């Protein structure tokens, strides 16, 4: 039995789709009963919360493998650690941990939080596979599409830093394979996309797929901080995002290697393919009228 946690989230939902497709016996964990109704047909659903330790053992009954993911919040270390403890207590065999690029060498921001959970997991008797993905294609819709729809522009302070974006659906394929353990047990996979692009190049790609001019505007980091705070983002999140950007502007996010392709057994989804599929997300009201 496989347990997929974070089944309402970006990666967890994609992992659940993959696991459900494989017809393996599985269960999906949600916090919200409303979200649980969206599970694929044939999926057993459970309601639990990493913060409520007493809910976790029941969820793990008869479970052999767990896909573990949590939102990128400061409590992630404690929350995922609770689940790791519960996996040990419940006799789980294999845990696939969704970590992040940078967990191996960056002691700030989200990567440093993920590293703490990686270390915790490795200190147990559990078999594990750690996934350290680069930035998701889906971030381009989540973070850039709103201002592109209204102004044809997106802003950041990434300068010419390159990012090897990858698709959460490809991460999910790797996660589903790793849940079986086997050759993936004990491995840490740094997952990068098939090409590295600067934000200016991403803007060109969006323009091409959407059919109207889209521009990337580089702004000073302090201006980006101010804008994010004015949008109502909490200070911890703004700081973590800007520190992560420093990792990229330091040249760390643009690796391209064949690992993802080898793990998938096919070519990864490219940014162009992703943008062609989701072009409508970037079209403004005028275009949709
Ligand atoms: N975005 C990127 O480019 C990127 C790159 C590399 C790594 N990552 C890492 O990938 C991870 C997942 O990202 P994502 O975009 O999929 O996040 P997400 O959409 O926020 O999904 C997180 C999932 O965790 C669940 N969750 C949160 N708190 C929980 C709790 N107390 N108990 C049980 N479940 C809880 C959420 O459930 P609810 O719906 O109930 O909140 C949701 O299903 C993050 O840790 C992030 O650091 C992201």
Instruction: Please tell me the predicted confidence (pLDDT) of residue 286.
Output: 45
- Clarify whether residues 73 and 199 are in a common domain: no
Is residue 234 pLDDT above 90, yes or no? yes
Burial level of 286, CB count in 10 A (0-12/13-18/19+)? exposed
Q: What CA–CA distance (Å, rounded) separates 106 from 103?
A: 6
Q: Which residues contact 205 (CB under 8 A, 6 or more apart)?
A: 197, 271, 272, 275
CATH code (residue 209): 3.90.25.10
Instruction: Please tell me the predicted confidence (pLDDT) of residue 288.
Output: 44
- Clarify whether residues 131 and 36 are in a common domain: yes
Q: Does residue 263 lie in a domain region?
A: no
Is residue 174 pLDDT above 60, yes or no? yes
Separation of CA 276 and ligand 1 centre (Å): 25
- Clarify whether residues 58 and 93 are in a common domain: yes
Q: Which residue, by CA, sits nearest to atom 26 of ligand 1?
A: 70
Residue 27: give the domain boundaries.
Answer: 2-136+166-191
Q: Which residue, by CA, sits nearest to atom 23 of ligand 1?
A: 6
For residues 245-258, average pLDDT: 96
For residues 226-246, average pLDDT: 97
Separation of CA 273 and ligand 1 centre (Å): 24
Separation of CA 213 and ligand 1 centre (Å): 32
Please write the tens of the pLDDT for every residue from 8-28: 999 999 999 999 999 899 999
Separation of CA 11 and ligand 1 centre (Å): 7
CATH code (residue 89): 3.40.50.720
For residues 189-211, average pLDDT: 97
- Clarify whether residues 150 and 77 are in a common domain: no
Q: Which residue, by CA, sits nearest to atom 22 of ligand 1?
A: 71
Instruction: Please tell me the predicted confidence (pLDDT) of residue 198.
Output: 98
- Clarify whether residues 50 and 154 are in a common domain: no
What does pLDDT average to over the chain?
96
- Clarify whether residues 273 and 184 are in a common domain: no
Q: Does residue 264 lie in a domain region?
A: no
Instruction: Please tell me the predicted confidence (pLDDT) of residue 287.
Output: 46
- Clarify whether residues 68 and 183 are in a common domain: yes
Q: Does residue 259 lie in a domain region?
A: no
Q: Does residue 111 lie in a domain region?
A: yes
Q: Does residue 262 lie in a domain region?
A: no
- Clarify whether residues 125 and 143 are in a common domain: no
Separation of CA 8 and ligand 1 centre (Å): 8
Separation of CA 5 and ligand 1 centre (Å): 9
Assign 42 a pLDDT band (cuts: 50, 70, 90).
very high
- Clarify whether residues 187 and 70 are in a common domain: yes
Q: What is the pTM of this model?
A: 0.97
Distances (CA, A) of 49 to 6, 78, 154: 10, 12, 35
- Clarify whether residues 7 and 127 are in a common domain: yes
How many domains does one find in the chain? 2
**Ligand 1 pocket, mutate which of 48, 52, 72 (most atoms under 8 A from CB):** 72
Q: Which residue, by CA, sits nearest to atom 37 of ligand 1?
A: 6
- Clarify whether residues 79 and 151 are in a common domain: no
Please write the tens of the pLDDT for every residue from 73-113: 999 999 999 999 999 999 999 999 999 999 999 999 999 99
For residues 158-176, average pLDDT: 98
Instruction: Please tell me the predicted confidence (pLDDT) of residue 282.
Output: 97
Q: How many CA atoms lie within 13 A of 142 on its CB side?
A: 8
Separation of CA 135 and ligand 1 centre (Å): 13
Instruction: Please tell me the predicted confidence (pLDDT) of residue 284.
Output: 79
Ordered DSSP codes for 104-153 = TT--SHHHHHHHHHHHHHHTSS-EEEEEEE--BTHHIIIIIHHHHHHHSE
Q: Which residue, by CA, sits nearest to atom 19 of ligand 1?
A: 9
Ligand 1 atom closest to the Cα of residue 10 is 16
Q: Helices 221-230 & 235-249, crossing angle to 10 degrees?
A: 150
Q: Which residue, by CA, sits nearest to atom 12 of ligand 1?
A: 71
- Clarify whether residues 108 and 187 are in a common domain: yes
């Amino acid at each position: 039995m496989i347990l997929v946690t974070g089944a309402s989230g970006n990666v967890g939902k994609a992992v659940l789709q993959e696991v459900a497709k494989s017809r393996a016996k599985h269960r999906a964990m949600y916090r919200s009963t409303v979200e649980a109704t969206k599970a694929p047909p044939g999926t057993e659903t459970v309601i639990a919360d990493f913060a409520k330790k007493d809910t976790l053992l029941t969820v793990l009954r008869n479970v052999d493998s767990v896909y573990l993911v949590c939102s990128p919040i400061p409590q992630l270390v404690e929350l995922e650690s609770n689940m790791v403890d519960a996996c040990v207590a419940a006799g789980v065999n294999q845990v696939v941990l969704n970590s992040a690029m940078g967990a191996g060498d960056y002691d700030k921001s989200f990567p440093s939080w993920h590293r703490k959970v990686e270390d915790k997991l490795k200190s147990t008797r559990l078999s594990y596979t750690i996934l350290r993905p680069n930035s998701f294609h889906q971030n381009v819709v989540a973070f850039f599409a709103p201002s592109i729809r209204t102004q044809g522009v997106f802003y950041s302070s990434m300068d010419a830093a390159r990012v090897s974006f990858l698709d959460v659906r490809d991460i999910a394929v790797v996660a589903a394979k790793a849940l079986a353990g086997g050759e993936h047990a004990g491995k840490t996979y740094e997952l990068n996309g098939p090409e590295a692009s600067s934000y200016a190049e991403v803007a060109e790609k969006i323009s091409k797929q959407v059919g109207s001019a889209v521009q990337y505007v580089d702004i000073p980091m302090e201006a980006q901080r101010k804008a994010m705070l004015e949008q109502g983002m909490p200070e911890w999140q703004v700081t973590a995002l800007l520190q992560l950007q420093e990792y990229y502007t330091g040249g760390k996010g643009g690796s391209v290697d064949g690992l993802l392709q080898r793990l998938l057994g096919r070519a990864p989804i490219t940014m162009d393919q992703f943008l062609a599929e989701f072009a409508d997300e970037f079209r403004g009201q005028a275009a949709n009228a």
